[in-house]
């Protein structure tokens, strides 16, 4: 029976071998890589927040997982601000789900920092939409993170579907 190190080395060699052959390569969505060009005026919604002490790790910076909470809160506020209600959508058999999240961390927030979380939406495919989200520290408006959150809607049959009503409300025609 192989020991831990031999087993791990075998797995590692398999991963490296696949990558050399082009398989299993992790790729980044070009939309996130190219969204450096966005400015505050390009976003359709934003909200201000403040870092709380308990969101920071032992290094004194916001823990990486907390940024997803900030991004989710912003998306939920946006959806509510345009008159959509998650409970009512669910009753209608429309369930909004996140399919993928990609975050590029630029610089850390620390306790007490005030910041703006901003978003814009884009249609990515017939079945997918994307929230392009940035977080800017106040008062200097320094870009702290940029993210792409890819979502879809699941219908009553459990299949991806973007109802035309959502497309219209979001202006994604």
Band (pLDDT 50/70/90 cuts) for residue 10 is low
Tens of pLDDT along 68-108? 999 999 999 999 999 998 888 889 889 999 999 999 999 99
Supply angle C-alpha 49, 54, 60, rounded to 5: 95
Catalytically annotated residue among 29, 42, 53, 57 = 57
Does the active-site annotation cover 53?
no
Supply angle C-alpha 82, 86, 56, rounded to 5: 90
Tens of pLDDT along 117-147? 999 999 999 999 999 999 999 999 999 999 9
What fold characterizes domain 30-170?
Answer: Thiol Ester Dehydrase; Chain A (3.10.129)
Per-domain boundaries in the chain: 30-170
């Amino acid at each position: 029976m192989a020991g831990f190190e031999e087993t791990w080395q075998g797995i590692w060699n398999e991963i490296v071998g696949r990558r050399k052959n082009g398989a299993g390569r992790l790729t980044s969505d070009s939309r996130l890589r190219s969204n450096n060009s966005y400015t505050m005026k390009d976003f359709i919604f934003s909200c201000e927040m403040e870092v709380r002490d308990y969101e920071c790790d032992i290094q004194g910076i916001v823990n990486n997982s907390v940024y997803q909470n900030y991004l989710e809160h912003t998306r939920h506020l946006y959806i509510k601000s345009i008159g959509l209600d998650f409970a009512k959508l669910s009753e209608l058999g429309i369930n909004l789900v996140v399919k993928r999240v990609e975050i590029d961390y630029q610089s850390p927030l620390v306790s007490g920092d005030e910041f703006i979380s901003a978003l814009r939406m884009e249609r990515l495919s017939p079945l997918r939409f994307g929230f392009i989200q940035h977080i800017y520290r106040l008062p200097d408006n320094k870009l702290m993170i940029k993210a792409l959150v890819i979502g879809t809607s699941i219908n009553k049959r459990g299949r991806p579907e973007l109802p035309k009503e959502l497309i219209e409300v979001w202006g994604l025609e």
